[in-house]
Structure 1
Amino acid sequence: MGNNVTRFEAGEGVTLLGGGTLGAGDLALALSLAPRLVAADGGAARALAEGHMPEAVYGDMDSLGPEAMARIPAERLHVIAEQETTDFDKALRHVVAPVILAVGFTGARIDHELAVYHVLAARPDARCIVLGVADIVLHAPPRLRLDLPAQTRVSIFPLAPVTGRSRGLDWPIDGLRLDPLGRIGTSNRSTGAQVELCFDAPGALLILPRDHLAAARDAVAAASVWSRPARTASL
């Protein structure tokens, strides 16, 4: 088993597979849009069971049994022993790609799912979309342009105080201060062919129906991500 934890860098989309609930067709859908496969810990066993060999596995490997581990080439196993972060975090911080589609991270334990959204909020530079049963979730970049049909649900859930501007929403967010303990922005709707969002700081999660995963993938791949310190964007 390799001792060096190296980054996985890809010029095309990466599917990141976890060991949580995996809906029928979820993995096939993600791989059709992001064909490179990386696993987080026990997600590697799920990949093997689905007939796929992950190109890299990241985590503390406490959920990956010896039989599955023996089937994976040692150089693809990247053990990160620290217990301060989740396996999702461990994997996400080592994968560099135009977009990452995370599947198998929702729908089971609520604390685990909340931890996933914490990681999304804490890593605003990651181009990651989490696939759930009904929705997809991503950390809104400084500016995002989405092609969406009219009356598509667009929810903004702040995990930190943020302000921003919008075009193409029934209820514009211009002039609003969104805050997890104050005003939130769920159940908004698109008005036409394109929605444009821009934010002054990281911290806003964008939630869309999963039917629009392909559009979100294209938008995230084309967007600039947050740098540190965050830069202000304007329409």
Structure 2
Amino acid sequence: MISKIVRKLEPITLVGGAAVNSQQLERAIVEAPTLVAADGGAAHIVRAGRVPEAVIGDMDSLSGDLKAALPKDIVHEIEEQDSTDFEKCMLRIETPLVVGLGFLGGRLDHQLAAFHGLMQFQDQRCVLLGSDEVVFLCPPLLDLPLSAGTPVSLFPLGPVTGRASGLRWSFESLDFSPGENIGTSNVADGAISLAMTAPAMLCILPAQCFEAVVKALVAQSGSWPARG
């Protein structure tokens, strides 16, 4: 069994290597004060004048100079190449919620890999914050206090049946599947409620919804079980 490197009772900010600006980092720290870096994401943290509690990854994107400058006991090199740095981190941290920065934007294949990681670790609640959107895997039930007119997109990564109220186009027991039926470009009429039958639905919202999403995910009871 793989041991946890970081355990916290409060949310953790996990920083990856894609673009991260200072405003995003400060917003994340307010909600999730502990900083963990996925490999080269350590550069964003150090540039902001902070030190991560841990740096986890295969270290292929962490510069030699930065690695040498960091305390040796916080650098955890994981040599296997069967998982991404995001997945290596998710496997080794324990927290009520991960706030992921530096995983949206940049290379599309890296973003898709992060979405795969959300499904791989379906039992660990996680919200990815980018410059324009927040993305998370829908839990079984979720109530979100959104403002009227907020864009809401639901994108299935696998077969899932969903129910939603509070949307301009609400639905009941609707089947979704990639290549068949998706739920992008919907609009909130106000507070919304979502219910999903499987851990396979991404919810995509504007970045200004970040704080509301964090509070809702932490407060909502019920999670998906860990993958067997």
TM-score, normalising length: structure 1: 0.91
Between 97-106 and 209-218, the greater mean CA deviation after superposition:
97-106
Residue pair 1:17, 1:44 contacting (<8 A) in 2 also: yes
2:140 match? 142
Q: Secondary structure at the match of 1:27?
A: helix
Alpha-carbon displacement from aligned partner over 1:103-145 (angstroms, at most 9, x marks no partner): 1112111111111111112221121111112110000001111
More strand by share: 2
**2:44 pairs with 1:61:** no
Q: Can you give the 5+ residue segments of structure 2 that lack an aligned partner in the other structure? A: none
2:189 match? 191
Residue pair 2:45, 2:51 contacting (<8 A) in 1 also: yes
1:156 match? 154
Between 114-123 and 201-210, the greater mean CA deviation after superposition:
114-123
Q: Can you give the 5+ residue segments of structure 1 that lack an aligned partner in the other structure? A: 231-235
Instruction: For residue 49 of structure 1, report the CA deviation from its aligned partner.
Output: 1.7
Which of 74, 78, 81 is equivalent to 1:80?
Answer: 78
Alpha-carbon displacement from aligned partner over 1:48-84 (angstroms, at most 9, x marks no partner): 1221100011101111122211222222111111101
1:207 match? 204
* 1:10 to 1:229, Cα distance in 2 relative to 1, 3 A: closer
1:166 match? 164
Partners of 2:24 and 2:227 in 1: CA distance: 35
Q: Secondary structure at the match of 1:175?
A: strand
* 1:200 to 1:5, Cα distance in 2 relative to 1, 3 A: closer
Partners of 1:40 and 1:229 in 2: CA distance: 22
Residue pair 2:57, 2:76 contacting (<8 A) in 1 also: yes
Q: Secondary structure at the match of 1:221?
A: helix
Tell me which amino acid in the other structure corresponds to 2:210: L
Tell me which amino acid in the other structure corresponds to 1:197: L
2:176 match? 178
* 1:151 to 1:124, Cα distance in 2 relative to 1, 3 A: same
Partners of 2:139 and 2:109 in 1: CA distance: 25
Partners of 2:10 and 2:154 in 1: CA distance: 27
1:26 match? 24
Task: Trace 1:99-138 onto structure 2 (pairs within 5 A).
Answer: 99-138=97-136
Partners of 1:76 and 1:47 in 2: CA distance: 13
* 1:54 to 1:209, Cα distance in 2 relative to 1, 3 A: same
Tell me which amino acid in the other structure corresponds to 1:199: M
Partners of 2:173 and 2:47 in 1: CA distance: 50
Partners of 1:185 and 1:16 in 2: CA distance: 28
Partners of 2:116 and 2:226 in 1: CA distance: 18
Partners of 1:174 and 1:24 in 2: CA distance: 41
RMSD, aligned CA = 1.7
TM-score, normalising length: structure 2: 0.94
Q: Secondary structure at the match of 1:64?
A: coil
Alignment length (residue pairs): 226
**2:181 pairs with 1:220:** no
Instruction: For residue 228 of structure 1, report the CA deviation from its aligned partner.
Output: 4.3
**2:7 pairs with 1:9:** yes
Tell me which amino acid in the other structure corresponds to 1:67: D
Identity %: 42
